[in-house]
Every structure is written in structure tokens, then in C-alpha cells.
């Protein structure tokens, strides 16, 4: 026993010596666990309450929406009934435009409506565009304002109702009742006869059609009540006449027919305009720097430019405003050098082909002239552009290009007062093939659709006149006048 008590004391002393307070980390974990449990408890009652609130709100919303739909349906049905009653009673009741009945007895009100329509915005938009038509979308936005004006209410008097009723309605009512009874009696007799004759053939229909009161009978009944009773005591809501001053019979407008517009498309632009031209005109020849084409010793002498000729044919092809021309022509060029009393001193560039003694022939002459004549066969090729091309009779175009020239004549001859013409030879430095740069303007005038007149001033600058590099810069100006024919 003693051992046991000692062991117990030892354990108790040992436990007393232990550190009973836990660490800081352990306390922080304990606090975190406690906070999580509290949050879970909060969520446990918060989530069901939120769900209940949402369900109750949705139920209230659906209920209100359902009530609104029912109210709108009821109002629509009432408006339809009112319009039906209006159409039935407006055919017989005199002057229904200014009378409106209300649920309150002994009162009428007149309501006038004014309609104001204003165009706010109008816009058009291109949808499709083709060679045949263009389609636009036009949108118009209107502002419609309807104003209502109510007039003073007045008590209904029996005299007013009597005025509105047509005369002789009571007699018509009696006739209608008599006619009803007569018709019923005749129907009974006819039925008895038909049942006796056609027994076993025709079975009786289980349903009998209920006779409907006509519009005239309804109107007469209403008016009789107004005559007998001095005041209208009760008026049903279904029999209220609502007349809208804006509801006027709309005329049926005819549908707008689509008119196909035919546009004048220029289909002839793809097809070329081909025409042939024949011309004849004057031409002059010279040098831009004033130097002689024969010899450098004659550069300082005065020179003249006699008029020569230029003629030929060309074909012009035009694609709308662009085109080209090509042809064949001949151009004659002349230039004169004034020698005076002096004869030619240097014959280095002259090939003499005459046996005549020049000194003896022109010894006593005072005014001696040296003439140089050049003629070429020409093949012009030019690019053409129409500056003015329309339905009028006048047309203007510009052209530029090159001409290939083949030498035909190369002559040199002397002339004086006593001697008319004395050929001496030709210039040695003139090449047989020449090229010129051309620049011109063409004017045309249409006499008819096929025939017209031409006037073409042309400037030519010759690039390869000499065999060797010459100092002169030859040029020519010509004026082509002629006639054209269009195919």
C-alpha cells in the first residue's frame, strides 16, 4: 500500500511540475477553429432565409404580372364590345358624333380629339445599285400628338330623345310585333303540314335557331323606353357608345407599282469608233537654229520658207476617249537661201549633176537664189486622246507620235530674174530614211452621223535628216484639212 501511495505522490508531483499553459501557435490554431465553426453556424441559418426571401419575392412578382395581364385582357374585351355597339347603333341613331354616354345616369359628355402629325426625320439609304436600277430605303419618323377636350355635361331631357327618334317609330314597332305574330302562326301551320306530309322521311333537328333581333328593332326598343320613362335609371356598361372622332373611314390606297427605269448605258464604249480621213494642206520647212542644211558657209545668209504641200490618208480608231491613228502620206519641203550677186563658193556638200557652166549662166544676175527641195513618203503612227467628245457637232482631240519617212526627191537648183530654174544637183549629207516626232491638235465638225470635216495643225521635228551629225535642226509645220467618213 505504501508503494502505491508513493507512486501516486510521485506522479502528482511530476504533473504539478509540468507547464500547463499551451504554446502561442496552439492558441492561434484553437482560435481559427473556433472562428470557422462560428461562420459555419452563421451560414447555416443565413442561406435558407435568403432562399425564402427570393421565393416570396418571385411569387409576388408573378402574381402582380398575372393580375396586370388579366386587367389588360378585360380592358381589350371591353373596348371590342364598345366598338361593336358603336357600329350597330351608329347606323340608325341620328347625329352620333357629339353624344357620349357614361355610366352615371342623366349625363352626357362630348369629347373632341385633335390630331397633330409632324415629320421629325426623313432619311434615305442606298441599298443596291446596278446598271438597270438603284434601290433606296426611305425611312420617315413622325410625331403624333392627340389632344382630348371635354365639354360641359348636361342633363338628358326626354324631349331631346324624342327629337333624335325618327317619327313613326311606335307605329313601326306595332307593325313589327304584328308581323312577328303572323310569322309565328304561319311557321306553325307550315310545320304541321310538313310533318304530316313528310313523316319518316325527314327527322326533326334537335336544335332550334333562336331568332335574333335586328338592328332596327333594338333601336326602336331603346327609343320607346325613352318616351315612356321620363328618366333613364340604369345603363349597362356594355351598351356604352364610344365614338372616336379620329376614326374616319380610310380609303384603300392602291399599291405603288414598281416602274422599271431604263438607264442610258453607253454600250458603244466597248466597240471602237473607226473612221477614215483624207487630207490636203500647206506645209513650211526650216531650221530651228537658223543654220543652213547644205553648207556652213551659208549659215549667215538670209533664208525664206516657201509654202509646199502635204497630203495623204489615215485611219483613226477610238475606244471611248483613247485611240490611235495610222496612215500613208507624202510631204514636200522647200527652203530658199538668198545668194545675191555671189555664187556658191564651196561645193563640198553638193553633188553637181549638170553640164551647164554656172558662172557663165548667172554671170550678170543680181538676185540669185539657191532652192533646196526634199520630199518624203510618210507612215505616221500616233496616239490619240479626245479632249471634247459629246453629242454636239464639234470635237477636239490631241495626238502625238512618230512618223517614218522615206526620201523621194533631193534637189538643188538656182533661180534668178533671167533664169527661171537651173538644176545643179543634190545635197550629199541627206539620209534616205528619216524619223520625225509629231505633235498636233485635231478639230472635227460633223456634217452628218457618218461624214465630217477635219482641221489638223501638226508640228514635226526631224531626228535623222543627215547622214552625219549636222548642226541644223530641221522642222516643218503643216495644216491638214480634209474630210472623214465614220464606219
Q: What is the pLDDT along the chain (487 residues), one digit of tens a residue?
A: 455 567 777 777 777 766 556 667 777 777 777 766 555 555 566 777 788 888 888 888 777 777 777 666 666 666 665 655 555 444 444 444 444 444 455 566 777 778 888 888 888 888 888 888 888 888 888 888 888 877 666 565 554 444 444 444 444 544 444 454 544 454 444 545 544 444 444 444 444 444 444 444 444 344 334 344 444 444 444 444 555 555 555 555 655 666 666 655 554 446 899 999 999 999 999 999 999 999 888 998 999 999 999 999 999 999 989 999 999 999 999 999 998 877 887 888 888 887 778 888 887 788 889 999 999 999 999 999 999 988 899 999 999 999 999 999 999 999 988 888 889 999 999 999 999 999 999 999 999 999 999 999 999 999 999 988 788 999 999 999 999 999 9
Q: Which fold has domain 271-486?
A: Porin (2.40.160)
Reading the block at residue 358, the C-alpha cell is 554656172
For residues 115 and 245, is the Cβ–Cβ distance under 8 A?
no
For residues 288 and 275, is the Cβ–Cβ distance under 8 A?
no
Give the domain ranges of the chain: 94-106+155-185+214-245, 111-150, 271-486
> Alpha-carbon distance 282 to 477, whole Å?
8
Prediction pTM value: 0.47
> How many Cβ atoms sit within 10 Å of the Cβ of residue 62?
10
> Alpha-carbon distance 76 to 80, whole Å?
6
Q: What is the 3-state secondary structure (H, E, C) of the chain?
A: CHHHHHHHHHHHHHHHHCCCCCCHHHHHHHHHHHHHHHHHHHHHHHHHHHHHHHHHHHHHHHHHHHHHHHHHHHHHHHHHHHHHHHHHHCCCCCCCCCCCECCCCCCECCEEEEEEEEEEEEEEEEEEECCCCEEEEEEEEEEEEEEEEECCCECCCHHHHHHHCCCCHHHHHHHHHHHHHHHHHHHHHHHHHHHHHCCCCCCCCCCCCCCCCCHHHHHHHHHHHHHHCCCCCCCCCCCCCCCCCCCCCCCCCCCCCCCCCCCCCCHHHCCCEEEEEEEEEEEEEEECCCCCCCCHHHCCCCEECCCEEEEEEEEEEEECCEEEEEEEEEEEEEEEEEEECCCCCCCCCEEECCCCCHHHHCCCCCCEEEEEEEEEEEEEEEEEEEEECCCCCEEEEEEEEEEEEEEEEEEEEEECCCCCCEEEEEECCECCEEEEEEEEEEEEEECCCCEEEEEEEEEEEECCCECCCCCCCEEEEEEEEEEEEEC
Reading the block at residue 91, the C-alpha cell is 347606323
| Dihedrals phi, psi of 182, to nearest 5 degrees | -65, -40
Residues 6+ apart with CB under 8 A from 81: 238
Q: Which whole-number Å values give the CA distances from 10 to 1, 4, 251, in the listed order?
A: 14, 10, 120
Amino acid at each position: 500500500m505504501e508503494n502505491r501511495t508513493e507512486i501516486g505522490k510521485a506522479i502528482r508531483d511530476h504533473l504539478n511540475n509540468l507547464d500547463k499553459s499551451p504554446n502561442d501557435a496552439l492558441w492561434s490554431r484553437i482560435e481559427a477553429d473556433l472562428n470557422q465553426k462560428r461562420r459555419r453556424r452563421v451560414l447555416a441559418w443565413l442561406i435558407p432565409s435568403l432562399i425564402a426571401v427570393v421565393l416570396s419575392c418571385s411569387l409576388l412578382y408573378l402574381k402582380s404580372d398575372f393580375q396586370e395581364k388579366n386587367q389588360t385582357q378585360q380592358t381589350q374585351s371591353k373596348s371590342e364590345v364598345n366598338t361593336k355597339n358603336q357600329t350597330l347603333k351608329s347606323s340608325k341613331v341620328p347625329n352620333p358624333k357629339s353624344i357620349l354616354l357614361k355610366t352615371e345616369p342623366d349625363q352626357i359628355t362630348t369629347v373632341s380629339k385633335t390630331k397633330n402629325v409632324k415629320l421629325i426625320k426623313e432619311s434615305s439609304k442606298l441599298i443596291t445599285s446596278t446598271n438597270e436600277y438603284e434601290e433606296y430605303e426611305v425611312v420617315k419618323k413622325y410625331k403624333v400628338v392627340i389632344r382630348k377636350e371635354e365639354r360641359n355635361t348636361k342633363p338628358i331631357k326626354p324631349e331631346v330623345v324624342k327629337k333624335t327618334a325618327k317619327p313613326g317609330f311606335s307605329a313601326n314597332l306595332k307593325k313589327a310585333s304584328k308581323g312577328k305574330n303572323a310569322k309565328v302562326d304561319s311557321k306553325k301551320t307550315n310545320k304541321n303540314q310538313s310533318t304530316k306530309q313528310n313523316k319518316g322521311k325527314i327527322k326533326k333537328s334537335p336544335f332550334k335557331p333562336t331568332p335574333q333581333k335586328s338592328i332596327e328593332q333594338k333601336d326602336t326598343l331603346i327609343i320607346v323606353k325613352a318616351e315612356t320613362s321620363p328618366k333613364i335609371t340604369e345603363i349597362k356598361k356594355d351598351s356604352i357608345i364610344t365614338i372616336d372622332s379620329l376614326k374616319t373611314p380610310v380609303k384603300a390606297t392602291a399599291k405603288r407599282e414598281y416602274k422599271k427605269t431604263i438607264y442610258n448605258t453607253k454600250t458603244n464604249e466597248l466597240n471602237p469608233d473607226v473612221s477614215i480621213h483624207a487630207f490636203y494642206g500647206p506645209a513650211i520647212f526650216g531650221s530651228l537654229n537658223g543654220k543652213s542644211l547644205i553648207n556652213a558657209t551659208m549659215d549667215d545668209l538670209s533664208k525664206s520658207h516657201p509654202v509646199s504641200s502635204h497630203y495623204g490618208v489615215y485611219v483613226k480608231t477610238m475606244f471611248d476617249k483613247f485611240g490611235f491613228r495610222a496612215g500613208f502620206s507624202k510631204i514636200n519641203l522647200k527652203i530658199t537661201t538668198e545668194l545675191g550677186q555671189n555664187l556658191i563658193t564651196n561645193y563640198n556638200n553638193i553633188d553637181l549633176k549638170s553640164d551647164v557652166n554656172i558662172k557663165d549662166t548667172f554671170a550678170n544676175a543680181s538676185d540669185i537664189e539657191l532652192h533646196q527641195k526634199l520630199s518624203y513618203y510618210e507612215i505616221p503612227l500616233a496616239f490619240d486622246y479626245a479632249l471634247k467628245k459629246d453629242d454636239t457637232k464639234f470635237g477636239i482631240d490631241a495626238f502625238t507620235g512618230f512618223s517614218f519617212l522615206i526620201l523621194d526627191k533631193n534637189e538643188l537648183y538656182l533661180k534668178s530674174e533671167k533664169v527661171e530654174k537651173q538644176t545643179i544637183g543634190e545635197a550629199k549629207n541627206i539620209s534616205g530614211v528619216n524619223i520625225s516626232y509629231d505633235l498636233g491638235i485635231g478639230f472635227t465638225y460633223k456634217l452628218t452621223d457618218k461624214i465630217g470635216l477635219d482641221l489638223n495643225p501638226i508640228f514635226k521635228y526631224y531626228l535623222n535628216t543627215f547622214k552625219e551629225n549636222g548642226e541644223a535642226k530641221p522642222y516643218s509645220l503643216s495644216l491638214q484639212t480634209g474630210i472623214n467618213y465614220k464606219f
